[in-house]
């Protein structure tokens, strides 16, 4: 009991000493020093240890059980190395490349006919439908034929009358010739009768001509198509009165198969291509405005014999079969005149050529890795690009799957273009 009291007294003395120190600190203006208990430090160390252990346990549990849509997701330390990039490849090949002169052309109908009335009268029948395909000789319309039939009959009657007069005059001539032998008729009577016969014969020729004219007028009352083609919009309806002198038309017929296209090229391009005025047989391709859709293939048949001084261009007239009717009069097309063919030229699919900030390039596959290879490109034709400078024929290059590639990236070939074997040689101009 005595010892316990002494400990308590010592504690009391210690507290008094601390209180005195506190008072002195307040007097000097210094903050009092806080004394940290050893027990508090122990508890703090225990909490830190428990937190570290819990964090480790949580990471272990997260690694083993964390899922997204049923798939285990490894932590960054457990992620595998990225797989090789999947690519499709082709091989550089040689082609016979057509050399083009580019131009813009205007489509024109091979023949255009404005169907007009050649005689006056009322339209009694319209025998075609708008947009109909017609052949030469097909009926289009009819004009009232009654007046022209009457004219024909009138001329035929006049001819018959004159023919009867001619018969009587010829009989009289024979009689006068018989009487003149016996001196019962004068020579003058014979000559006058012979002249009358010749006059009647001449009159018959005139009537024959008038009959032919009347027949023609009657035929003109029936309007037929002069060419093969397609009929446009009807301009005149049944019951309207038409005149031969009127500029109005009944319909317009255009011949679309074949069809013509007028191209214009610069005189410099014509000289470079060694074109000559007059007839020509030069292949030409017609493309839609998108420059990729081929409309038809034809032949340049005529090179104009003069240069337009205002534009410095020369006209080329080409003919296209237009079997699919994709060319229409008045439309504009992009033309490619084939003036030459380069043999054994390196080509690649246009999708294999990449366009960098400084130059064009391709990805060459070498030992399952890609190598950046600069190229110089030339003309583009039929989805392929000419290489003026680049890898040789037979080199494997990437044609699809570029977006993950960098110099030295490992690749896995998932598809090979079998159409581009090493050294393959095609004639692109004939495709």
Complete DSSP assignment for 176-236: HHHHHHTTSS-HHHHHHHHHHHHHHHHHHHHHHHHHHHHHHHHHHTEEE-SSSEEE-----
pLDDT at 80: 52
User: What's the chain's average pLDDT?
Assistant: 81
In this predicted structure, the answer to whether residue 69 has a pLDDT above a threshold of 90 is no
pLDDT at 340: 82
Spatial distance between the Cα atoms of 293 and 2, rounded to a whole number of angstroms: 116
In this predicted structure, the answer to whether residue 119 has a pLDDT above a threshold of 90 is yes
Tokens of 163: 């023919």
Element (H, E) at 269: helix 267-272
Phi, psi (rounded to 5 degrees) for 425? -130, 120
Place of tokens 């009926």: 139
Spatial distance between the Cα atoms of 207 and 419, rounded to a whole number of angstroms: 78
Tokens of 395: 């080199």
Average pLDDT over residues 37-64: 60
Nearest to 352 by CA among 392, 315, 406, 398: 398
pLDDT at 245: 92
Kindly report, residue by residue over 150-165, the tens digit of the pLDDT.
Answer: 999 999 999 999 999 9
Strand-pairing partners, residue 335, are 103, 286
pLDDT at 82: 55
Q: What is the DSSP string of 325-364?
A: ----TT-EEEEEEEEEEEEEEEEEEGGG-EE-SS-EEEEE
Spatial distance between the Cα atoms of 191 and 173, rounded to a whole number of angstroms: 9
Instruction: Return the sign of the alpha-carbon dihedral for residues 114, 118, 120, 124.
Output: negative
* Alpha helix stretches (DSSP H) within 29-71: 38-65
Nearest to 341 by CA among 78, 173, 94: 94
Kindly report, residue by residue over 318-332, the tens digit of the pLDDT.
Answer: 999 999 999 999 999
Strand-pairing partners, residue 374, are 361
Spatial distance between the Cα atoms of 250 and 242, rounded to a whole number of angstroms: 9
Average pLDDT over residues 427-431: 39
**Do 128 and 140 meet the contact criterion of CB atoms below 8 Å apart?**
yes
**Do 345 and 360 meet the contact criterion of CB atoms below 8 Å apart?**
no
In this predicted structure, the answer to whether residue 61 has a pLDDT above a threshold of 70 is no
In this predicted structure, the answer to whether residue 424 has a pLDDT above a threshold of 70 is no
Spatial distance between the Cα atoms of 426 and 409, rounded to a whole number of angstroms: 32
Spatial distance between the Cα atoms of 400 and 398, rounded to a whole number of angstroms: 6
pLDDT at 182: 83
- Tell how strand 332-349 and strand 384-389 pair up: antiparallel
Place of tokens 């009654």: 146
* 44 — pLDDT class (breaks 50, 70, 90): low
In this predicted structure, the answer to whether residue 114 has a pLDDT above a threshold of 80 is yes
């Amino acid at each position: 009991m005595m010892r316990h009291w002494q400990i308590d007294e010592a504690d009391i003395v210690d507290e008094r000493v601390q209180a005195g120190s506190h008072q002195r600190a307040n007097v000097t203006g210094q903050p009092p020093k806080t004394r940290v208990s050893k027990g508090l430090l122990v508890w703090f160390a225990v909490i830190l240890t428990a937190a570290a252990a819990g964090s480790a346990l949580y990471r272990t549990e997260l690694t083993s059980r964390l899922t997204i849509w049923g798939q285990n997701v490894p932590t960054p330390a457990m992620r595998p190395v990225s797989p090789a990039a999947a690519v499709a490849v082709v091989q550089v090949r040689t082609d016979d490349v057509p050399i083009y002169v580019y131009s813009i052309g205007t489509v024109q109908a091979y023949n255009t006919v404005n169907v007009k009335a050649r005689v006056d009268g009322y339209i009694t029948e319209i025998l075609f439908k708008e947009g109909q395909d017609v052949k030469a000789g097909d009926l289009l319309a009819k004009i009232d034929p009654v007046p022209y039939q009457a004219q024909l009959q009138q001329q035929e009657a006049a001819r018959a009358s004159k023919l009867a007069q001619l018969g009587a005059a010829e009989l009289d001539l024979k009689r006068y010739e018989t009487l003149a032998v016996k001196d019962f008729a004068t020579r003058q009577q014979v000559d006058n009768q012979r002249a009358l016969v010749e006059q009647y014969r001449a009159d018959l020729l005139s009537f024959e001509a008038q009959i032919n004219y009347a027949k023609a007028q009657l035929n003109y009352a029936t309007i037929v198509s002069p060419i093969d083609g397609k009929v446009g919009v009807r301009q005149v309806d049944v019951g309207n009165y038409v005149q031969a002198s009127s500029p109005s038309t009944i319909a317009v017929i255009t011949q679309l198969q074949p069809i013509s296209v007028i191209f214009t090229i610069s005189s410099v391009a014509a000289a470079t291509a060694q074109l000559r005025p007059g007839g020509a047989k030069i292949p030409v391709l017609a493309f839609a405005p998108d420059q990729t859709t081929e409309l038809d293939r034809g032949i340049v048949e005529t090179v104009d014999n003069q240069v337009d001084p205002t534009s410095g261009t020369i006209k080329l007239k080409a003919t296209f079969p237009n079997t699919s009717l994709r060319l229409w009069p008045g439309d504009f097309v992009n033309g490619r005149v084939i003036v030459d063919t380069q043999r054994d030229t390196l080509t690649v699919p246009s999708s294999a050529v990449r366009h960098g900030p400084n130059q064009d390039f391709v990805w060459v596959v070498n030992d399952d890795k890609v190598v950046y290879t600069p190229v110089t490109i030339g003309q583009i034709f039929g989805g392929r690009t000419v290489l003026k400078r680049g890898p040789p024929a037979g080199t494997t290059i990437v044609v699809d799957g570029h977006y993950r590639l960098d110099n030295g990236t490992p690749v896995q070939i998932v598809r090979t273009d079998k159409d581009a074997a090493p050294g393959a040689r095609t004639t692109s101009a004939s495709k």
